[in-house]
Amino acid sequence: MKTIIGFEIHEQINTPTKLFCDCPTTYREVEPNTNICEVCTGMPGSKPFPVNQYAIDAAIEIAMMLNCEIIKDPVYIQRKHYNYPDLPSGYQRTSLPIGKNGNLLGVGIWEVHLEEDPGKYDPVTGKVDYNRSGVPLVEIVTAPEIYSAKDGRNFMRELVKVLSYTGKVRTEGGTMRMDTNISLEGGRRVEIKNINSIRGAYKALNFEITRQKNLMKRGKSVKQETRAFLESQMITKAMRAKEEADDYRYIPDPDIPPLLVFDEKIESIRAIMQEAPHLKEERFAHDYGVKADDANILASELELANAFEKIAKEVDPKFAANWIRDELKRVLLYNKKTFKESGIRHKHIVGLLKMMQRGEITAKTGQKVIEIMGEKPGDPQKIVEELGMGKITKNDVLETAVDEAIKENKKAANEYLGGKGEALNFVVGAVMRKTKGRADPATILKMLKERLEK
């Protein structure tokens, strides 16, 4: 059964001031109703300031990253009227499209526009906090060209990556909000609101697909309606029937002259704009010969991708890509940090990889060093020296360890001599443990063979 999905995604732009006034956007860190003024609380007589230029530029850049054509005609800021306690003026200001007809992963991007966040209403206490009122949002509307929950999840992951590449949206969790439209062949379109994460979107879509399929199986029709996603229960619940859709009575806001985007602006943004992640992946695969999967991981974060390109100048790119994928990513995941947040520098990685290549430390030691760096970034050379983890080559320590290991693992040693070759690996492991991974496994194996076979 064919499934058709479209998204509307809202992200907060990471500007220090609101869209139509100078109030700070740090609404979560402060007491309720402290980041407010007569503009963002809609006091009688107040007028919007000229539109926040950073927010306009951010929306243009995001639209360009999504391959949109930028609108050169006057872009009006509209008033969208509806009655809700969190809207101080009885309307929300929302721009007409700044960019149109883009695409990402083969999914059409219908439009990118700017709008203001409303305040926060608590239905339980009846109180409204206007700190959030007027925080700039960028809204991205996709074409209904996603055909499964899984594709939806992949699309959203890629979109989040693109947005983070721009560096223009808030990255702390919980600021993204999305609505999704979903319809199954033979059914009507259902809108799901109140989704706050990619995981939530995936769960909501799966729930909804199952719900709609079951309805159809039982011969019932799927109504056109708006449903809310309840994150706590991972289900969707009917909000209101779409038939009684609100009339927002849009008018261009007479207080705000339309925005005009000139070619110079577009060119100046293009000059500083990042390469889109999927293009970067293709280039990495082509230029450095890294595998597609590795390229995907390298491009998962802009700072990591940039670091990789610097590393690849000094270390074999394939070796570096492999190691970043297996080791660095493992450590970042374990510490729940992005590469940027980890504080690890590209030169540290270069240093570490070179020590491994020169045989100064073992791969095992390399793992330990990056684990330490993950918690406390620093020069790998120093870490190795301070902790005495330099590779043990032929010396008394290693020979003693080999002798002891043979003595303690007589059974395995005898099995080896009896023709069971793999038994020796067990003894190698024992030596590794004794030397805390500082000895090269190949050297150990060679020494063991010499010792046993003489």
Binding site for other proteins (CB under 8 A): 38, 42-51, 79, 81, 83, 85, 88-91, 247-249, 251, 253-257
Cα–Cα dist 257/155, whole Å: 35
Looking at the Cβ atoms of 118 and 200, the one nearer to other proteins is 118
Please report, for residues 137, 416, 432, the alpha-carbon distance to residue 140 in angstroms, rounded to integers and kept in the order given: 10, 65, 54
Q: Shortest Cβ distance from residue 27 to other proteins (Å)?
A: 19
Tell me how far, at minimum, the Cβ of 90 lies from other proteins, in Å.
2
Q: Whose Cβ is closer to other proteins: residue 45's or residue 173's?
A: 45
> CA 98 to CA 113: how far, in whole Å?
5
**What's the closest the beta carbon of residue 248 comes to other proteins, in angstroms?**
8
Question: By C-beta, is 85 or 378 nearer to other proteins?
Answer: 85
Nearer to other proteins, 254 or 421 (CB): 254
Minimum distance from residue 58 beta carbon to other proteins (Å) = 19
Task: Give least dist CB 244 to other proteins, A.
Answer: 13
Compare residues 253 and 301 and give the one whose CB is closer to other proteins. 253
Cα(93)–Cα(90) distance, integer angstroms:
10
- Decide whether 30 or 251 has the Cβ nearer to other proteins: 251
| Cα–Cα nearest to 151, from 81, 100, 209 | 209
Distance of closest approach, residue 49 Cβ to other proteins, in angstroms: 5
Cα angle, residue 251 at apex, residues 248 and 256 outer, rounded to 5°: 130
Query: Distance (Å, rounded) from C-alpha 317 to C-alpha 315?
Result: 6
For the CB of residue 73, give the shortest distance to other proteins in the complex, in Å: 16
44 vs 219, beta carbon nearer other proteins: 44
Residues 6+ away with beta carbon under 8 Å from 418: none
Q: CB of residue 343 vs other proteins: minimum separation in angstroms? A: 40
Nearer to other proteins, 238 or 245 (CB): 245
